Amino acid sequence: MTGDIGIGIHDLSFATTEFVLPHTALAEYNGTDIGKYHVGIGQQSMSVPAADEDIVTMGATAAAPLIARHGADRIRTVVFATESSIDQAKSAGVYVHSLLGLPPATRVVELKQACYGATAALQFAIGLVHRDPAQQVLVIASDVSKYDLDSPGEATQGAAAVAMLVGADPALVRIEGPSGLFTADVMDFWRPNYRDTALVDGQESITAYLQAVEGTWKDYTEQGGRSFDGFGAFCYHQPFTKMAYKAHRHLLNFCGYVTDEAQIARAIGRTTAYNRVVGNSYTASVYLALAALLDEAEDLSGQSIGFLSYGSGSVAEFFAGTVVPGYREHLRTEAHREAIERRRPVDYAGYRELHERTCPADGGEHSTPAQTTGPFRLAGIRDHKRIYERRPEGRTVA
Ligand code: HMG
């Protein structure tokens, strides 16, 4: 446990993109049986960023409602987790800090380890709050998942940001102390600095993920974690939602349980609603699973949730959280559903054009087409500097 004081997720909000590509459009283009997407990988559609959206605009959009509800007085740290970084030096969090008007007396940093980064951010945030329980930490996980066109990974793209306010006496989920850790140097998925699409060995990545599930669980048990039966649900990193089912089945087998499909569906089904229609949001994915669970399920007060965070390369962590009684009064279910439903469908040609856009590198002045209707946009690039703007009419619900 986290000592005498409970520390964890006090508030959580997510944002996604302006556009959405249904998998039916991808299947029609490449001749794939739609069953492979809808059932085989468990994906319905994927979020597609507009030309003027990126990890900063999504991160700011996700975080703005937290600031509107709680203010920024107690936030002294912003940790921005991403693997789709826009700069090799400056943290994307500094742009968000500015867009949200946070006080100068703040430390801001960007963290990276593939999809695992946000979990590192959460754990580091808990450490900071432990040192001074009066402080809160704003954790932002924001990513755009991009693979080559016409590659097997294409169907598992997506984009979203989750913002979490981490503090003492949290209103949503108390994070428990024991963590199961696992690191292995594998080349299952990576993205060299000179590429903006990821490279992946699909089957190897699934095997590496499953090995990490075993490794983290073994360590979690050795660290004195809860028994398998002590969990009401499991939030897995979901590069595609079927992966969560594969992972849970694997964990059941590893623990010597008979795999009962109805029981697996009960443990996982409620966590997949957002990831199924958003696609892989890398760092945000496991926390989108949590958002779906809290928003969709019956009252989970007092129940324990298992979290499995996996980042290719690879680093993984298994940890537990307890749902705080009364949490339902603090949820943002309506805003979350609106974030999904407000997306405008894009056809295959439109998606392909957006996918093929590259960031101008000539140092000239480039304005970005105004496509997003969200509160923040990337207005352009001038002298190699990204120019963001907040729409005066941009609406933020507290
Ligand atoms: P693929 O070769 O296109 O698909 O790759 P497949 O042939 O393996 O088929 C997928 C599933 O669909 C199979 O089911 C088929 O049987 C089924 P499974 O055997 O796995 O249960 N299928 C059908 N089902 C119903 N009706 C049909 C039908 N046809 C086939 N008609 C793959 C799929 C996921 C590998 C590919 O999309 C890919 O490479 N994706 C990217 C990598 C990835 O997501 N890896 C996941 C683990 S690694 C991870 O999670 C980390 C990551 O998020 C990055 C990070 O950490 O930063 C990726």
Active-site annotation holds for 255 = no
**CATH code, domain carrying 321:** 3.40.47.10
Q: Please count the residues of the chain.
A: 398
C-beta 312 within 6 A of ligand 1 = yes
Active-site annotation holds for 115 = yes
Rounded to two decimals, what is the model's pTM? 0.97
Q: Quote the CA–CA distance of 179 and 319 in Å, as a whole number.
A: 5
Residue 250 within any structural domain of the chain: yes
Local confidence band at 326 (pLDDT 50, 70, 90 cut-offs): very high
Residue 62 within any structural domain of the chain: yes
Please write the tens of the pLDDT for every residue from 71-126.
999 999 999 999 999 999 999 999 999 999 999 999 999 999 999 999 999 999 99
For residue 314, cis peptide bond before it (omega within 30 degrees of 0):
yes
C-beta 243 within 6 A of ligand 1 = yes
Please write the tens of the pLDDT for every residue from 223-239.
999 999 999 999 999 99
Predicted pLDDT at 3? 47
Residue 15 within any structural domain of the chain: yes
| CA angle at 99 for the pair 335 and 7, rounded to the nearest 5° | 60
Predicted pLDDT at 118? 98
Q: Give the three-class secondary structure for 160.
A: strand
Q: Give the three-class secondary structure for 45.
A: strand
Residue 20 above 60 pLDDT?
A: yes
Atom of ligand 1 nearest to the CA of 313: 56
Range of the domain at 211: 7-390
Structure tokens at 131: 């040192």
* 79 residue type, one letter: V
The predicted model gives 235-264 an average pLDDT of 95
C-beta 237 within 6 A of ligand 1 = yes
Residue 205 within any structural domain of the chain: yes
Q: Quote the CA–CA distance of 59 and 48 in Å, as a whole number.
A: 15
Residue 1 within any structural domain of the chain: no
Residue 397 within any structural domain of the chain: no
Edge to edge, the sheet with strand 376-382 lists: 365-367, 376-382, 385-390
Q: How high does pLDDT run on average in the chain? A: 96
Local confidence band at 297 (pLDDT 50, 70, 90 cut-offs): confident
Residue 121 within any structural domain of the chain: yes
Please write the tens of the pLDDT for every residue from 65-77.
999 999 999 999 9
The predicted model gives 285-306 an average pLDDT of 96
Cα 252 to middle of ligand 1, angstroms? 21
Q: How far is CA 181 from CA 2, 141, 223, 282, in A?
A: 17, 20, 10, 19
Q: Quote the CA–CA distance of 286 and 319 in Å, as a whole number.
A: 12
Tell which one of 30, 36, 210, 249 to mutate to probe ligand 1, the residue whose CB is within 8 A of the most ligand atoms: 36
Tell me which of 237, 250, 336, 355 is the catalytic residue. Answer: 237
Q: Quote the CA–CA distance of 121 and 287 in Å, as a whole number.
A: 12
Give Cβ neighbours of residue 362 (< 8 Å, ≥ 6 apart): none
The predicted model gives 143-164 an average pLDDT of 98
The predicted model gives 6-11 an average pLDDT of 98
Residue 395 within any structural domain of the chain: no
Q: Give the three-class secondary structure for 7.
A: strand
Predicted pLDDT at 391? 87
Cα 247 to middle of ligand 1, angstroms? 13
Cα 41 to middle of ligand 1, angstroms? 6
Predicted pLDDT at 2? 44
Residue 1 above 70 pLDDT?
A: no
Structure tokens at 259: 């795999």
What is the per-residue burial (b if ≥16 Cβ within 10 Å, else e) of 20-52?
bbbbebbbebeeeeeeebeeebbbbbbbbbbbb
Phi, psi for 29 (deg, rounded to 5):
-70, -45
Nearest to 11 by CA among 235, 162, 233: 162
Local confidence band at 395 (pLDDT 50, 70, 90 cut-offs): low
Nearest to 147 by CA among 351, 316, 379, 388: 351
Per the structure, how many domains does the chain have? 1
Kind of pairing between the strands at 199-200 and 365-367: unpaired
Q: How far is CA 234 from CA 34, 55, 253, 267, 344, in A?
A: 27, 27, 15, 6, 31
Q: Give the three-class secondary structure for 138.
A: strand
Cα 202 to middle of ligand 1, angstroms? 7
Q: How far is CA 132 from CA 176, 304, 370, in A?
A: 18, 26, 43
Please write the tens of the pLDDT for every residue from 301-321.
999 999 999 999 999 999 999
Contact status, residue 297 vs residue 333, Cβ threshold 8 Å: no
